[in-house]
Amino acid sequence: MSDLQKSNSNLQAVGCVEIDDLSIRFASPQGREVVAVETTDLRLEPGSFTALIGPSGCGKSTILNAIAGFVSPSSGSICVDGKAVTGPDPEVGVVFQQYALFPWFTAIGNVKFALKRFRLGREELQRQAHEALKEVGLGDRASAYPGQLSGGMKQRVALARTFASKPKVLLMDEPFGALDAQTRISMHELLLRIWDAHRTTVLFVTHDVDEALLLSDRVFVMSEGPGRIIDSFEVQSDRPRVVDQVDEHFVANRNRITKLLRQSHADSI
**Footprint of Mg ion (CB under 5 A):** 61
Position 117 contacts other proteins (CB under 8 A): yes
Burial class (CB in 10 A: 0-12, 13-18, 19+), 69: middle
d(CA 172, CA 96): 6
Q: For residue 175, give the nearest of 199, 140, 160, 218 by alpha carbon.
A: 160
Contact pick of 114, 157, 194, 209 for other proteins (by CB under 8 A):
114
- Contact between 122 and other proteins (CB under 8 A)? no
Q: In the complex with ligand ATP, which residue's Cβ is closer, 15 or 227?
A: 227
Pairing type for strands 75-80 and 83-84 reads: antiparallel
Of 14, 18, 70, 130, the one binding other proteins by CB under 8 A: 70
Site for other proteins in 181-200 (CB under 8 A): none
Binding residue (CB under 6 A) for ligand ATP from 34, 125, 190, 243: 34
Instruction: Report the candidate in 137, 108, 142, 141 with the shortest Cα–Cα distance to residue 125.
Output: 108
The reply to whether 53 sits near ligand ATP by the rule CB under 6 A is no
Query: Which residue's CB is nearer to ligand ATP, number 110 or number 206?
Result: 206
Contacts of 247 (CB under 8 A, 6+ apart): 237, 238
Which residues, 77 to 96, sit near other proteins by CB under 8 A? 87-90, 92-94, 96
> Pick from 16, 36, 111, 213: which binds ligand ATP (CB under 6 A)?
36
Do the strands 201-206 and 49-53 form a parallel or antiparallel pair, or are they unpaired?
parallel
Give the Å distances, CA to CA, from 232 to 13, 26, 34, 37, 109. Answer: 23, 26, 25, 16, 40
How far is residue 188's CA from residue 8's CA, in Å, rounded to a whole number?
27
Binding mask 185-224 for ligand ATP (x = CB under 6 A): ----------------------x-----------------
Instruction: Kindly identify the residues of this chain, within the stretch 126-165, that bind other proteins according to CB under 8 A.
Output: 145-148, 161-162, 165
From 24, 68, 80, 159, residue interacting with other proteins (rule: CB under 8 A): 68
Dihedral angle computed from the Cα positions of residues 246, 250, 251 and 252, in that order, rounded to the nearest 10 degrees:
160
Look at residue 56 and give the partner it binds from other proteins, Mg ion, ligand ATP, none, a contact being a CB closer than 5 to 8 Å depending on partner kind.
ligand ATP
Can you spell out the DSSP letters for 40-62? EEEEE-TT-EEEEE--TTSSHHH
Name the residues that contact other proteins, by CB under 8 A. Answer: 68-70, 87-90, 92-94, 96, 98, 100, 102-105, 113-114, 116-117, 145-148, 161-162, 165
